[in-house]
Each structure stands twice: as structure tokens, then as C-alpha cells.
Structure 1
């Protein structure tokens, strides 16, 4: 990631543009011989400090020695902050003072921001402008949605898209909440943390989760908030044809049901590999509940990603075959590009002649999805792999075949063409290895 994109989460908690301008003035007073204005690197390090990252942590993101960052800060930003806040020179002796002093000076926003600084840094987003425009239209248009889900297989970039979207639209909301479900927090813990960080007038009737949920809904009705729930599949049970919630997480159904069905002026964004009942959504133009199925990158965008990954042979025709093999999956393409460079000296043709599309981390990604499938879905994948040619819905030999095919399509493990249903190439290779 380019340094100018690091620590962008600070924009949800700080009035950055006025702060940049005022620090630029302080810089010119301290160092009149320097070019006016903060450099991109100074802005990046400032944002890191505002998010309570130490100089050592900032240097890790930049890929340089910690001492280099410490010296630069002591010769630059620390002095500008002293000047801006009216302190004596060299009064700032800890990086922690930067955020504290600037908050006291009034540069912190009044916007509620919960876990916003815990959003992961994402790689550059290639393509996806059409999807971003569509999501913004749904969220901010005249018939604004209150619930949007982004559905797609592992590695497709759902989290990256959600984070990019959130950063673009965050100024349109009174509050912003980020919540990763990857480590399966209980709803009681999630609601308890949120209510603890919301204004003091948000008081539930009791500590029971349903009373806490009622208090949250009342707040979302009175204030326009953006809430992002990432990796919903983490709290869904595996091995079931119909995605149900895992034991101890069934109360999330009530959370999502109320967020989707109960009128409020906020907007909820959910990412998931699987679409359950609460994420069903609609394609109707005026529906308050919508869903986006995230597919692979288009060729030009995928090629741009491979160029950025320094894969030799920019624009060569055989890239099209490589991209198609992995159906434009961004994470898989990054893994493949690294493998081709490390093991095949950057020669795409050699890699393709090798004949293997599924290996190492690619296999691990597919493992994650395959292990969550129901026995019916795994059986149908096996039928498609054995047949090795398109099958019609009538060819599928299972009483639950229709439901399973629909589920597999939504998980992007199979494809539909006029000739019938087939496995995508990398899944075909994987499933064949599972067959007895």
C-alpha cells in the first residue's frame, strides 16, 4: 500500500484538512526555508500518531528503520505541534502527546467512531468502480437503503470493498461503527462495547442483550450511522445446506432481522461468503434491503493487479488465460503471481505448462469454503467433477439438488452456461483430488 493511503481511518475521528493547514502554517513559522505545506509522508505519520500508533509501528508499515521515523518526527512534526499548540520548543517528549494535545486544541471530531481504527489496512483496490458507484447509490440515493450485503467467495475482496466504501461515505453519517466477526465475538460483548462508546444518553433498561439491542435501535433511528459487519460467515454453522447461526450466536439473527426490517435512518453494510435469510435482499429499485454479488475482476483490472505485483510480461496474451483460470479472484491472482516469480522465474508459460492451478495457499483458500459445505453440496461438486462436462439441473441426482445448485452458484463454486452447470477450473482440480 502506498504511504499516502496508510492510516486513513483517522479521518473518521479528526478534522484532518484544517489540521493539515494549521500545521503547515506552524511549519512555515518554524522552518521558513522549507517548502510550504506538509508532505504526504508527514501527513501519513501524523495520521498514524493520531490513531495512537507508535513510531516503531509506523516504521513497520513504511518498511524502514524505527530510528529513521523517530528522528524525522523529532525534527519535524513534533516541533510543528508544539508551535501550533503554544508549547515551548522541545516540550513534547512522547509521541503520545501529539494526539492528546491536538484533541485538547479541538481538532478531534464529534462524530462517534467505534472500532474505526481497527479496520485493516487494505491493498490498493483494482477496478470495482462500478460496484462502488452502485453501493453509494443504494446508500445515499433518494431511496436510501438501510441494509446492504456484499456476498462473494473467499479472496474476492469483500472486506477491501467495504472498507473503501466506508471511507468514501463516512462524512455523510453522524457516527461510524466497524465490527469484525472473524474471531466470533458474542452479541452480548458487541452490544456492550458499542453502547459503552455511544453517548451517555443511550441507556438500556437492563444488561440483557435484547434490552441493549432495543437501545441501539433507538439510537440508530435518531442518528444516521454507518455500521459495517465484516465476515458474517464466521458466526454461521458449517455443513448445512441452509446457512444457520452457530450455537451461541443465534441472537445475531434478531440483530440482523431488526436492522433490516425495522425503519431507521442508518445504513448497515454486511460482508459474507454465504447468503442466509437475513441477507436475502432484493433487486427492486426501491427496496430498503439490497445485496451485491461480488464477482471476479475484469481483465484490464486484473492485468493492472498483476503489473503491480511485478509479474513480467505486461499485457501478454497468455495473461488472459491465467486470469480466466482463477476467474479474476484478486487474492488468488496475487498468490499465483508470487509463485510464478519465486518458482518459475516469472515465466507464465512455464507455470501454465506445469498444469497445476491448485497448490499451497490457493488450496488453503478453497479448503476454507469446501469444509463449510453441506454433504449435499459436496456430493454435487463430486458429480460435476466426475462428469467433467456441463450438466443440466435434470442431470443432478439428488432430491435437494435444486437448493444445492442455487447455494453453490451464490458461493461462486460453480458456473452456469447455456450448456449447463460446470465447476470453475481451480475448483475442478480441487474436487477431483477429494474423490475416492
Structure 2
């Protein structure tokens, strides 16, 4: 990782409450009266029965951080009754209603309800479901630290397909929306997977931030207006799946110009982008010390991955560790292989008696597009070279070995500079990994087992389809 309220509510419970009005243009802290009104409506919708008097006592006590002893002293109900009868059932219900995947309890009731109401502030596209979220504790802490400093206009989450970039960004928003210390006025989630033009994207952002704005006709004027708004209002904007820009060079250029202005010009907001590729412009931002940072996501930590697999029926520790190693803790690939084990093999023992590395259809399709549309001949030959060499027993290949042997093995003439650039590009595209030898400190390169399997099988013949005559001659 670059790493208070009256106990008496209007209990005309014969009438169902009307639609719940939770709209707010800013993240305002709830009063207890407001909280009870909202909870009463939500609870009624869930069970057609309003909050009871003892339930209101528990809510009030939780709101003011009272112990159950204090709740009992201020009411006619016994402590054990409030704690063991009322609270347990109430918090189980509230977990389903407002928890969004988090267990609601006395300690976090206020935060969970605030986050539930703040969902109206999260505009744009629908967030990924993070009701089941595993690990990423360090990454979340680091991201919150970066955002709290208000020193970074843009943060990029980079990593291979399925590693959890979008889930991490969504979890971050969910957490931050519970904490006013960050001071955000708006959260905006926008997927760009459908390749909207930069004009359409900016117009939509402006419409979300203030529908009364009259959007200018020209792109740069639109960006200037958006930046003015981002100075006035503190916003957290997520642009998800930015790697699709590789499919359209002109759109790629338009977006990078837009992001450059977001990075280089002054405002109080933060933009998070998720992408599989660390763009050249992003590297430049880092090298020139612009207010930009990136995190390269690795797989889930071992404990989180074991929990992930255990909830899917893989409980043997040794087998879990084997799967985690092979699929590098990638939650999407782990979920796919577990499904295929259950559907095709029946149980893990049969699968491990017939060991193989499975490539998910999702990852295969992504790799087909990247290899077929983006990689040139030298990139493909490097991936083939690394795949073949690691089959022969080496787990990783040193940079020295590559520089000395690649040209001979593949009978190509290419300058050292171009070879190094190609390795850098492959790493930025999350297709190869670099590690430092702990003893020699030399950089080594590896292919993840899943990507190696893809290269070697090459079902569509895309990887091995290249024209060696296009390779540059060494000078």
C-alpha cells in the first residue's frame, strides 16, 4: 500500500405513518426528538407497530450514552428487563432497518441513524453493497487520515480487477458519513463505466450540487464553474471504474485534463478515482508533489480472507491458505472459485485432488480487452516470458535476468530503456507485480497465478498474437 424527548409519541398506531422525509442538503446532526420521529416511522413500517414506552427509554438512553442502570433509575422499568428483553429485540430490528450491514447497538445507534439519513446526501449512481465487508482496516485508516488533512485534492485507488477498489470507496463513504469531523457537505458517487462525455459528467455534477446553476456551453467553463462550487462546498466525489477510458483515447484525454485541473487548482473537496491503471499523468502528479496520492490495493489479509472463505463453506485452514495464496486474496476470484468448487466438484477434497488454477469469466473478459486492445508486442512477449520462466521453478524473475536473457530467449532486439518502460507499464496496469528481494534488495517481477494461467492457456490466441517486426531495434 503506497498505504430530550417526551416518552409520549403520537401513538395513533391505527394509521400508518406517511412517507419518511429525510431530505437534507447538508449533513446536519439530529436532535433526539427528530431521531425518535424517524425511528418511530421506520419501526412502524417494519412491523406495523410504533415504538413502545420502554423502547423509547432505551433509545433515549442510548442517545445520551446512559447505562441500563441509569435508564432504569429514570423510569419504572427494571434494568434487566430493559437490557435483556427490550434492547435485544429493538436493536435486532434496527439492524435490519438502518444498519446497512452493521450491527446496531446502544453504542452506535446515533451514528447508524445519522448515516442512514445521510444517504440522501450521497448523490449520483447507486453505491456498491457493502453490507458484507471484509478487512481493509489499515487502508480505511490511511484514507481517512489523508482526507482529514485536507492536503490531497485527489486520491486514486489502484488494483487488479476484483480486488475491492469500489467496495473500499463505498465503505469509506459509509464510515465518513457518520462522522461530522470531516465536514463534508455532499457525497457523490459516479460510475463512468458507460463512458459519459466529460461535458455530460460535469453537467450532472453541477446539477447535483446546485440545480439552479446555468451550465456554460464550453467544457473548460463548466470545469471552472465546478471548481468554484468545490471551493464553496466541501464534497467527496468518487469516480468509479476510470480504467474504461482506455477504450476511447479522446475521452481519455478529456478526463485527464479534467482531473489535472481538479488536482492542481485550489478547492476544499476531495475526488477519489478507482482504476486498474496508474495513468502516466498520475505518476507525474506524484513526482511533482502535487496534492495527489494513490493506494495500490493488494488482496485481503489472511484473517479476513479466511473469514470470507469460511462464510462460503470452505473451513479447512490448510485449504483456505492454499486458495488465498493462489488467488492472492482477491475476493472476486475467491468467490468465483468457491462457487465452481461447489457446483462442479461438489467438495474441496475432490477439487484439491485435481489441482488447477481457475480464471473467472469476469477477469478473463477484462484481460481479453486489455491484452487485445492496449498491449503491444513487447508487453505480450514480456508476459509470456515471465509465465514460462516461473513454470520452470522460479517464483520471481530478477530485473537483471530479464535484461540479460529476455532478448536472447525471444530473439528480439530492443533497447534497455524500452524494456524498462514496458515493465513499468505492465506494473501500472496491474498485470505484473514487482517485489524487492529482502537479501539483495534487487527488484524482481512476478505474475499472479491467475494471470499466468490466462497467459499460458490463451484461449482466444490474443496473447501470442503479435508482430515482432514492430519491436524497436536497440540503438
Q: Does TM, normalized by the shorter one, top 0.5? A: yes
C-alpha deviation, 1:374, in angstroms: 1.1
**Taking structure 2 as the reference length, what is the TM-score of the superposition?**
0.66
**Taking structure 1 as the reference length, what is the TM-score of the superposition?**
0.72
More moved, 391-400 vs 121-130: 391-400
* Cα pair distance change 1:112/1:281, threshold 3 Å: farther
| Alpha-carbon distance in structure 1 between the residues aligned to 2:131 and 2:326 | 22
* Cα pair distance change 1:312/1:427, threshold 3 Å: same
| Alpha-carbon distance in structure 2 between the residues aligned to 1:366 and 1:110 | 35
Q: Name the residue aligned to 1:259.
A: 262
Q: Deviations over 1:267-319 (max 9, x none)?
A: 110100001133327679x8621010111112111111101222242xx2232
* Cα pair distance change 1:31/1:127, threshold 3 Å: closer
**In 2, are the aligned partners of 1:112 and 1:198 still within 8 Å (CA)?**
no
Any idea what SS the aligned residue of 1:177 has? Answer: strand
Does 1:22 pair with 2:40?
Answer: no
* Cα pair distance change 1:155/1:372, threshold 3 Å: farther
Pick from 242, 258, 268 the counterpart of residue 232 of structure 1: 242
Any idea what SS the aligned residue of 2:271 has? Answer: strand
More moved, 324-333 vs 397-406: 397-406
Q: Name the residue aligned to 1:403.
A: 421
Q: Deviations over 1:334-354 (max 9, x none)?
A: 11112122222231x432332
More moved, 366-375 vs 210-219: 366-375
Does 1:210 pair with 2:220?
Answer: yes
Task: Select the structure of larger CA radius of gyration.
Answer: 2
Q: Name the residue aligned to 1:219.
A: 229
* Cα pair distance change 1:344/1:113, threshold 3 Å: closer
**In 2, are the aligned partners of 1:149 and 1:290 still within 8 Å (CA)?**
yes
Any idea what SS the aligned residue of 1:317 has? Answer: helix
Any idea what SS the aligned residue of 2:455 has? Answer: helix
| Alpha-carbon distance in structure 1 between the residues aligned to 2:122 and 2:134 | 27
| Alpha-carbon distance in structure 1 between the residues aligned to 2:379 and 2:119 | 49
Pick from 167, 172, 176 the counterpart of residue 165 of structure 1: 172
C-alpha deviation, 1:16, in angstroms: 8.8
| Alpha-carbon distance in structure 2 between the residues aligned to 1:127 and 1:282 | 29
Does 1:268 pair with 2:271?
Answer: yes
Gapped regions of structure 1 (runs ≥ 5): 1-8, 49-60, 62-106, 238-244
C-alpha deviation, 1:20, in angstroms: 4.2
| Alpha-carbon distance in structure 1 between the residues aligned to 2:148 and 2:272 | 13
| Alpha-carbon distance in structure 1 between the residues aligned to 2:320 and 2:136 | 20
Q: Name the residue aligned to 2:387.
A: 385
More moved, 20-29 vs 293-302: 20-29
Q: How big is the alpha-carbon RMSD for the aligned residues of Structure 1 and Structure 2?
A: 3.5
| Alpha-carbon distance in structure 2 between the residues aligned to 1:327 and 1:233 | 21
| Alpha-carbon distance in structure 2 between the residues aligned to 1:46 and 1:127 | 22
Gapped regions of structure 2 (runs ≥ 5): 1-21, 60-89, 102-115, 408-413, 465-475
Q: Name the residue aligned to 2:134.
A: 126
| Alpha-carbon distance in structure 2 between the residues aligned to 1:186 and 1:174 | 26
How many residues in Structure 1 have an aligned counterpart in Structure 2? Answer: 358
**In 2, are the aligned partners of 1:20 and 1:43 still within 8 Å (CA)?**
no
User: Which aligned runs of 4 or more in structure 1 are off by greater than 6 angstroms?
Assistant: 9-16, 26-29, 107-111, 281-284
Pick from 435, 450, 453 the counterpart of residue 426 of structure 1: 450
Q: Deviations over 1:188-225 (max 9, x none)?
A: 11112222232256444x32222111100111112211
**In 2, are the aligned partners of 1:15 and 1:108 still within 8 Å (CA)?**
no
Q: Name the residue aligned to 1:370.
A: 371
| 1:34-433 to 2 correspondences below 5 Å | 35-36=55-56, 41=93, 44-45=96-97, 113-115=122-124, 118-122=126-130, 124-141=132-149, 144-170=151-177, 171=180, 172-199=183-210, 202-204=213-215, 206-237=216-247, 246-280=249-283, 288-313=291-316, 316-347=317-348, 349-361=349-361, 363-364=364-365, 366-375=367-376, 376-388=378-390, 389=394, 390-391=397-398, 392-394=401-403, 395-397=405-407, 398-399=414-415, 400-417=418-435, 418=437, 420-433=444-457
* Cα pair distance change 1:15/1:41, threshold 3 Å: farther
| Alpha-carbon distance in structure 1 between the residues aligned to 2:231 and 2:207 | 18
